[in-house]
Structure 1
Amino acid sequence: MKRKPIAIPADPTDPEDRDVTTEGLKRGQRARLIRMTRTELGLTQTEFAQRFQVPVGTLRDWEQARVMAPDFAIAYIKVIAQHPDMVAKAVA
Structure 2
Amino acid sequence: MSTDEIELPADPNDPEDFDVTAEAMERGQRARFVRMTRTALALSRLEFATRFCVPVGTLRDWEQARVTAPDYAVAYLRVIAADPDLVAKAVV
- The question of a shared fold, defined as TM-score above 0.5 by the shorter chain, is answered with yes
Cα shift at 1:8: 0.2
Q: Structure 2 unaligned runs (5+)?
A: none
2:42 maps to what in 1?
A: 42
Q: 2: distance between equivalents of 1:2 and 1:32?
A: 23
Cα shift at 1:2: 6.3
1:87 maps to what in 2?
A: 87
2:13 counterpart SS class: coil
Q: What is the CA deviation profile of residues 42-88 of structure 1, one whole-angstrom value per residue up to 9, with x for unaligned ones?
A: 00000000000000000000000000000000000000000100000
What percentage of aligned pairs have identical amino acids? 67
Cα shift at 1:12: 0.6
TM-score with structure 1 length normalisation?
0.97
Q: Which amino acid aligns with 1:53?
A: C
Give the 4+ runs in structure 1 shifted more than 6 A: none
Q: CA RMSD in A?
A: 1.1
Q: 1: distance between equivalents of 2:72 and 2:23?
A: 17
